[in-house]
A and B are shown apart, each in its own frame.
Chain A
Amino acid sequence: MIAIIDYGVGNLFSLKSSFNAIGQETIVTGDPEVIRKADKLILPGVGAFGDAAALLRKNGMDNLVIEQAASGKPLLGICLGMQLLFDYSTEYGRHEGLGLIPGSVQPVRPVVPAGYKVPHIGWNALHLRGKNELFRYISEGDCVYFVHSFYAADCGESVIATAEYGPELTAAVAHKNVYGVQFHPEKSGAVGLNILRAFCE
């Protein structure tokens, strides 16, 4: 069973539906016991980093996620859920993350050329780095759907895919059993579903 961690952020309808579409049962839950029993975990998230980090901390969910990741359980962070895996973010002040992957979350605006719109919204091609099992069903150049104004920086060693938006922005990371994707696999058509499928298997 895969648990989609519900800590009060965003709408998990599409995410749950996308797992249904690939025949994978999921449970949306904030119950620590259910999360401990799950085989794999999804950390979703939309909105502002500080608010989401505070909600995670509110019920001790932060420590539970850290404990579960340390036990070797596969964990996938999606969008803001990916950003929360890092040490900290500078979105509206400095906010601490879970520290599961070394790096920080920084604004996109200063690193992209003038004339590039922020948020980075739309379909962009993935440039894969090395061979990661998360991408075993997709190909170099496949497009996925992004919506974000901040990106993961200083995380060179864990980057497994980037997307060009002026510079190459971090699109996906992997560090031991912890994975993160900046884009929305649940909104990225067949390519996105194939990434979720690879994570489930």
Chain B
Amino acid sequence: MITKRIIPCLDVKDGRVVKGVNFLGLADVSSPVKLAEFYSSSGADELVFYDITASAEGRALFTGILTEVASTIFIPLTVGGGINTVDDFDCVLKCGADKVSVNSGAIRDPSLISQAAKKYGDQCVVLSVDAKRVDGQFRVFAKGGREDTGLDALEWVRQGVRDGAGEIVLNSIDTDGVKNGFDLEMLEAVCAVVDVPVIASGGAGCADHFKTLFQTLPKVDAGLAASIFHFGEVSIPDLKRELAACGINMRL
């Protein structure tokens, strides 16, 4: 049986890992390479790197770090942030990424998903969606959660998968940073409309939240979190052992 994945997410700005609470108030945490090594050796099933830098200098720092990470750790790496063109895919894949996550870039140009899937395969294209409840609808937000696109999240993921997205990361802005648990309602709605792996993001505050996630929604494939791992509030080896003891299939 395939295992459920536990994925630490590293938001990288100017070469350093940061994590926001509800996307605001960034605080410097640590070196991406050191964190990546730490997570890999402690049993993380995959790592996600988001480059939240806007400048060219920051971008160059990021690809340098990515190359360093990819030459020292050997688990799947997903990269996102600032991916707007197929050339951007090419750049991070050459630095050692295995999957590339698109968000605002795909909102601006939805053909980015199909172009990239055709060139690199569906398994390489991850559609990352920041969604929030607006007027009784799950609405897609762009630009790190600052801009309401007016798009319906369920329709957006359905279209993304049709175009070739091989995986969905669903980040609920409503639960992100609040540490009260994953957004089960939003996740269930997304799982019902797509048949590719769905990664839950936003809201994990303790090990129990992962247990509830996988037990309530068996269709969810992975749980992603940042600060609780970075600050050591939840240790990945303990978390995985605890989940396995509850009968959830884990790689130990």
Contacts and interface: CB of A to CB of B under 8 A. Distances in A.
A117 interface: yes
B71 A189 contact: no
Interface residues of A, number: 30
A13 B94 contact: yes
Please report whether the interface of chain B is mostly helix, strand, loop or mixed according to DSSP: loop
Interface in B150-188: 166-167
A124 B166 CA distance: 18
A20 to B, nearest CB: 7
A46 to B, nearest CB: 7
A119 B166 contact: yes
Interface of B: 1-3, 5, 40, 45, 70-72, 74-76, 93-96, 98, 120-123, 166-167, 195-197, 221, 251
Interface of A: 11, 13-14, 17-18, 20-21, 46-48, 117, 119-125, 143, 145-147, 164-165, 186-189, 192-193
Nearest to A18: B74
Given A124-B1, A125-B1, A164-B1, A13 B74 contact: no
Given A17-B96, A147-B123, A121 B72 contact: no
B63 to A, nearest CB: 12
A14 B123 contact: no
B243 to A, nearest CB: 14
A74 B109 CA distance: 47
B71 A17 contact: yes
B77 to A, nearest CB: 8
A97 to B, nearest CB: 19
A119 B74 CA distance: 21
